[in-house]
């Protein structure tokens, strides 16, 4: 921790908003004007739009994350959680990964905790579900899917085989549609190396309570995406929810029941629950109540942006949409972070602050290799709608340029370039999740009874 007497700007969260806001503040700040401190339980930022491609093996998992200390060399980066904030004393309680919690004073506060998976009390979900919010989950999903193919190929039990080759995805937004598209591609490619498994042996199920998928790209492209996935053999059930999945037995409320070893949950997000302990004004859904300047309502030293903030969408309201709020996506998060950084500097210096206003520029989604949808907004009325390979190129171009730092941009494009000439890797590294298991089995003490039996057998052989 710093012992400086300079004012401290505390950034709670090192995700997309936290990273970009801290970079912007450091860039605009005069030398010695303030100390920027970033607190996050992870020492890296995850570029979440790349998680489906990381799960499919199109991008190395190391290239999906950005190390905070490398990108923010002039900031304090503390690995831990802000477990509480005392607004009256302007003190945050930081709980590090090890050791006791301690208090950290601040003068200005940036809330950038982001969101967590939105779940429901569905029996079996906590034990069986796999999320897609972090790179650990994406790589875990990849290893898990490939392990299911290994399991199906090596068993003679038809029930075990059927369960291993059934994949259920809950949620038809960007995360769900992109993940099922990428994983279906991965499984289809991997099956070529298993003589006893074909694509026809696998079953992919996509479930959503809404009446459409991919609502972010509009009804026309969403319908095309739905038909495209169905042509690839994905069963899509709309206006349908999951009642339970105990021990992998999935029960849908439309009457369908299937056994599956893979249940991927991407049914939306909700603001980080830790916000309720910060003493900040919250909206009806748990977001921080934030003004158009990105200042938290009722304060002059706290700012918020991204998925954990309820921010008025001035562009939509100017177009006549009442009570419009900025949607939680990377497009808004990037631009909000820059405005937030500028406003923190302005607030610190006593200058007026700017409103955040950004019109939607469209949306892109990849549905597997060479497949995607894209909607590009030009002006107030012109919309360009693309699908198939060209939309997939747009998806990769946009996100390849949007990922933070040139280091990561170059590495991601290098992964994609190599993928044009080399076949997809289909190796499962599931043992990485328990790397000490084999060593433990070799090193653990032998029970006395077993040791005595081994000694007796050795003596018998010697005689």
- The CA distances from residue 205 to 140, 236, 255, 265, in Å, are 19, 6, 14, 12
Q: How far apart are CA 433 and CA 261, in angstroms?
A: 17
Q: How far apart are CA 83 and CA 275, in angstroms?
A: 9
**Confidence (pTM):** 0.88
Q: Report whether pLDDT(450) > 60.
A: no
- Close Cβ partners of 399 (under 8 Å, ≥ 6 residues apart): 47, 49, 50, 364
Q: What is the mean pLDDT of residues 298-321?
A: 90
Phi then psi dihedrals of residue 386, to 5 deg: -125, 150
Q: Report whether pLDDT(440) > 90.
A: no
Q: Report whether pLDDT(73) > 90.
A: yes
Mean pLDDT of the chain, nearest integer: 90
Q: CA dihedral in degrees (396, 402, 405, 408; nearest 10)?
A: -20
Q: How far apart are CA 432 and CA 329, in angstroms?
A: 31
- The CA distances from residue 282 to 39, 298, 301, 456, in Å, are 21, 11, 16, 71
- Close Cβ partners of 302 (under 8 Å, ≥ 6 residues apart): 108, 109, 110, 111, 280, 295, 296
Q: Quick one: pLDDT at residue 458?
A: 65
β 35-40/8-12 pair status: parallel
Tens-digit pLDDT profile for residues 41-71: 999 999 999 999 999 999 999 999 999 999 9
Asked if 317 and 324 touch (Cβ cutoff 8 Å), the reply is yes
Tens-digit pLDDT profile for residues 395-438: 999 999 989 899 999 999 999 999 999 888 877 776 566 777 77
Q: Quick one: pLDDT at residue 382?
A: 72
Tell whether the torsion through CA atoms of 40, 45, 367 and 143 is positive or negative: negative
User: Which of 201-205, 283-287, 378-382 has the highest mean predicted lDDT (pLDDT)?
Assistant: 201-205
Q: Report whether pLDDT(321) > 90.
A: no
Model confidence at 452, pLDDT cuts 50, 70, 90, reads: low
Q: Report whether pLDDT(345) > 90.
A: yes
DSSP H helices, 302-447, are 314-318, 330-349, 389-402, 406-421, 437-443
- Close Cβ partners of 325 (under 8 Å, ≥ 6 residues apart): 310, 311, 312, 313
Strands lying side by side in the sheet with 242-244: 242-244, 249-252, 257-259
Q: How far apart are CA 192 and CA 202, in angstroms?
A: 13
- In terms of Cα–Cα distance, which of 175, 265, 190, 177 is closest to 227? 177
Asked if 52 and 366 touch (Cβ cutoff 8 Å), the reply is yes
Asked if 425 and 190 touch (Cβ cutoff 8 Å), the reply is no
Q: What is the mean pLDDT of residues 332-361?
A: 92
Q: How far apart are CA 48 and CA 413, in angstroms?
A: 16
Q: Quick one: pLDDT at residue 336?
A: 94
Tens-digit pLDDT profile for residues 5-24: 789 999 999 998 999 999 99
Q: Report whether pLDDT(212) > 60.
A: yes
Q: Quick one: pLDDT at residue 425?
A: 80
Q: Quick one: pLDDT at residue 2?
A: 45
Q: Report whether pLDDT(3) > 50.
A: no
Q: How big is the chain, counted in residues?
A: 463
Give the burial class of 286: count Cβ atoms within 10 A of its Cβ; 0-12 exposed, 13-18 middle, 19 or more buried. Answer: middle
Model confidence at 449, pLDDT cuts 50, 70, 90, reads: low
Q: Quick one: pLDDT at residue 427?
A: 76
Q: What is the mean pLDDT of residues 313-325?
A: 86
Q: Quick one: pLDDT at residue 433?
A: 64
- Close Cβ partners of 236 (under 8 Å, ≥ 6 residues apart): 172, 206, 207, 208, 213, 226, 229, 230
3-state secondary structure of 377: strand
Give the burial class of 273: count Cβ atoms within 10 A of its Cβ; 0-12 exposed, 13-18 middle, 19 or more buried. Answer: exposed
Q: Report whether pLDDT(224) > 90.
A: yes
Q: Quick one: pLDDT at residue 324?
A: 87
Q: What is the mean pLDDT of residues 373-386?
A: 83
Q: Report whether pLDDT(359) > 50.
A: yes
- The CA distances from residue 403 to 114, 329, 406, in Å, are 17, 13, 8
Tens-digit pLDDT profile for residues 111-128: 999 888 888 899 999 999
Model confidence at 1, pLDDT cuts 50, 70, 90, reads: very low
Percentage of the chain surpassing pLDDT 90? 72
Distance between alpha carbon 281 and the CA centroid of its chain, in Å? 26
Q: Quick one: pLDDT at residue 369?
A: 92
């Amino acid at each position: 921790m710093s012992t400086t007497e300079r004012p401290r700007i505390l950034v709670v969260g090192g995700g997309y908003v936290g990273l970009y806001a801290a970079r912007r503040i450091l860039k605009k700040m005069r030398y010695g004007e303030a100390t920027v401190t970033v607190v996050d339980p992870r020492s890296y930022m995850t570029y979440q739009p790349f998680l489906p491609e990381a799960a499919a093996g199109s991008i190395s998992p190391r290239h999906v994350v950005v190390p905070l200390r490398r990108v923010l060399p002039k900031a304090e980066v503390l690995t831990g959680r802000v477990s509480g904030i005392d607004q009256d004393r302007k003190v945050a309680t930081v709980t590090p990964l090890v050791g006791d919690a301690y208090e950290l004073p601040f003068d200005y506060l940036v809330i950038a905790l982001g969101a967590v998976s939105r779940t429901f009390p569905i029996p079996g979900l906590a034990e069986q579900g796999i999320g897609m919010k972090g790179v650990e989950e994406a790589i875990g999903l990849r290893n898990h899917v490939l392990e299911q193919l290994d399991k199906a190929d090596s068993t003679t039990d038809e029930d075990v085989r059927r369960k291993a080759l059934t994949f259920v995805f809950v949620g038809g937004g960007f995360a769900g549609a992109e993940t099922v598209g990428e994983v279906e591609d991965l499984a289809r490619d991997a099956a070529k190396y298993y003589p006893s498994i074909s694509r026809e042996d696998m079953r992919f199920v996509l479930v959503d309570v809404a009446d459409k998928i991919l609502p972010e790209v509009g009804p026309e492209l969403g319908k095309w995406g739905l038909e495209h996935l169905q042509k690839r053999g994905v069963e899509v059930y709309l206006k349908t929810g999951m009642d339970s999945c105990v021990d992998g037995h999935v029960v849908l409320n439309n009457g369908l029941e299937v056994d599956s070893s893979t249940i991927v949950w991407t049914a939306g997000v909700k603001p980080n629950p830790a916000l309720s302990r910060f003493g900040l004004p919250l909206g009806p859904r748990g977001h921080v109540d934030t003004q158009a300047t990105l200042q938290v309502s009722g304060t002059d030293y706290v700012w918020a942006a991204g998925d954990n903030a309820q921010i008025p969408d001035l562009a939509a309201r100017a177009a006549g949409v009442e009570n419009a709020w900025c949607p939680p996506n990377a497009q808004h998060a990037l631009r909000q972070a820059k405005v937030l950084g500028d406003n923190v500097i302005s607030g610190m210096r006593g200058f007026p602050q700017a409103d955040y206003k950004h019109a939607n520029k469209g949306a892109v989604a990849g549905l597997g290799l060479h497949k995607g949808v894209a909607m590009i907004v030009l002006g107030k009325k012109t919309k360009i709608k693309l699908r198939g390979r060209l939309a997939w190129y747009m998806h990769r171009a946009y996100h390849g340029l949007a990922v933070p730092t040139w280091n990561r941009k170059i590495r991601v494009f290098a992964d994609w370039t190599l993928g044009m000439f080399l076949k997809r890797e289909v190796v499962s590294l599931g043992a990485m999740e328990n790397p000490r298991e084999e060593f433990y089995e070799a090193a653990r003490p032998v029970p006395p009874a077993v040791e005595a039996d081994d000694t007796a057998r050795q003596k018998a052989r010697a005689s």
